[in-house]
Amino acid sequence: MTILGDDKEVRLRDAAFRYLDTLGHTKLVSQQDLASFVFEGESIRLMAPQQGIWKPRQLQAALSMRTVYAADPARRPYEDEIGPDRFLRYKWRGENPKQFENRALRLAMQRGLPLIWFQGIGPGLYLPSYPVYLAAEEPEAHQFVVAFDVESLALRRDLLEREPELVRAYAERVVQQRLHQRVFRERVLLAYESRCAICNLQHRELLDAAHVITDAAGGQPTVTNGIAMCKIHHAAYDADIFGIAPDYRIGVRADVLEESDGPTLRYALQAIDQSVIQLPRQRRARPDPTLLDIRWCKFHAGPRQKLNSEVVELTRSANSYLPKRLAVATFCTDTDGGETG
């Protein structure tokens, strides 16, 4: 692997990364946002016009890859593209190894050149990840292995044979941070139009994507397991200061309702009791009531809703993949006595 310092391949990439930095490293970008990139007096396209691999005519090696968004908010993104080593895979164009875009990617891999991965988050909106590297090629599966940083690239190259578990664990963490968490946040904020579902705050920099079922408890990074919340409501939800029932109603913990303190307590916490969260316009992007119920039962506050048998059945199947300490929803429902839904 050789990288020449004064090489157009390297200089153009550096300039492209700096340009993306000016757009905001975590910001979603559209084709239009990318249109004003100029390198040495020439306007250069950074992303393929269609899904796929992009090699500008000024370069020999590919510069970027583009994937379209998963339209189904319940689908875990990139589920199928993670290999047994926990690195992501990127498919060739077609099945011909000599196809020019596949050759352009192979050249980037052989020369260790960094690339940009534009991940589709919503229609026409992309989350750029850069620099990413190609760690290997799997010709029989028509794909490349993608490394999200130089460390995982080096670890895979040097230790995959001797310490496969170590390499897997590292890759898992990097993919979690560089892909799943970022993609989860952006998809959830997009679904909620960048507003807190509890208080309607619209400052993007103060918003998070809260998990209904946490990562640690086996929650998936899907939009239906997420709710957009401002920092204070996210922290309060995670601390079980309030809960959200499967019918989207908020219940604030009884002892918090009885406290007296300044306006933050009154307006941000006590006043939200019994209100209903703001939901995404798109019905299928709304939080999954089964997951809300599991969390709501854990929260143990306020009257619980009596669920119909279909939801109970769904809950039972959800319980089969959740850790025992969370698998209480069906129990909650079964012992719920005379509550009405």
- Looking at the Cβ atoms of 202 and 282, the one nearer to Zn ion is 202
Give the list of residues 6+ apart from residue 271 with CB closer than 8 angstroms, or none: none
What b/e sequence results for 151-175 when a residue is b if at least 16 CB atoms lie within 10 Å of its CB, and e otherwise? ebbebbeeebeeeeeebbebbbebb
Q: Which of 46, 116, 134, 230 binds Zn ion (CB under 5 A)?
A: 230
Q: Is 171 or 272 the residue whose CB approaches Zn ion more closely?
A: 272
Which residues does 275 contact at the CB level (< 8 Å), separation at least 6?
Answer: 249, 250
Measured CA to CA, the distance from residue 298 to residue 330 in angstroms comes to 12
Q: Which residue stretch of 72-80, 107-115, 117-125, 190-198 sits at the interface with Zn ion (rule: CB under 5 A)?
A: 190-198
Q: 12, 28, 198, 318: which one contacts Zn ion (CB under 5 A)? A: 198
What's the min distance (Å) between Cβ of 278 and Zn ion? 10
State the nearest-atom distance from the C-beta of 144 to Zn ion, in Å. 41
Q: How far is the CB of 14 from Zn ion (least distance, A)?
A: 39
Residues 6 or more apart from 36 whose CB is under 8 A from it? 43
233 lines the binding site for Zn ion (CB under 5 A): yes
CA distance 162 to 153: 15
Least CB distance from residue 229 to Zn ion, whole Å?
A: 6
Least distance from Zn ion to the Cβ atom of residue 189, Å? 13
User: Judged by CB under 5 A, which of 65, 199, 227, 228 binds Zn ion?
Assistant: 199
Long-range contacts of 267-271 (CB under 8 A, 24+ apart): 268/199, 268/232, 268/233, 268/236, 269/236, 269/241, 269/242
Judged by CB under 5 A, the number of residues near Zn ion is 6
Regarding 196 and contact with Zn ion (CB under 5 A), the answer is yes
Confirm or reject binding of residue 13 to Zn ion (CB under 5 A): no
Tell me the window of 6-14, 53-61, 197-205, 289-297 that interacts with Zn ion (CB under 5 A). 197-205
Q: Which is nearer to Zn ion, 90 or 242 (by Cβ)?
A: 242
Tell me which residue of 52, 186, 32 sits closest to 118, measured CA to CA: 52
Q: Minimum CB separation from Zn ion for residue 221, in Å?
A: 21
Tell me which residues in 60-119 interact with Zn ion (CB under 5 A).
Answer: none
Radius of gyration of the chain (CA): 23
| Closer to Zn ion by Cβ: residue 197 or 301 | 197
- Residue 283 Cβ vs Zn ion, minimum distance, rounded to whole Å: 22
- Per CB under 5 A, contacts with Zn ion among 202-221 are none
Q: How far is the CB of 191 from Zn ion (least distance, A)?
A: 16
Residue 109 vs 230, nearer CB to Zn ion: 230
Tell me the C-alpha to C-alpha distance, in Å, between residue 245 and each of 72, 225, 241, 288, 300. Answer: 23, 14, 13, 11, 10
Say if CB 333 and CB 306 are below 8 A apart. Answer: yes
Query: 245: left (phi > 0), else alpha (psi -120 to 50), else beta?
Result: beta
In the complex, the residues that contact Zn ion under the rule CB under 5 A are: 196, 198-199, 201, 230, 233
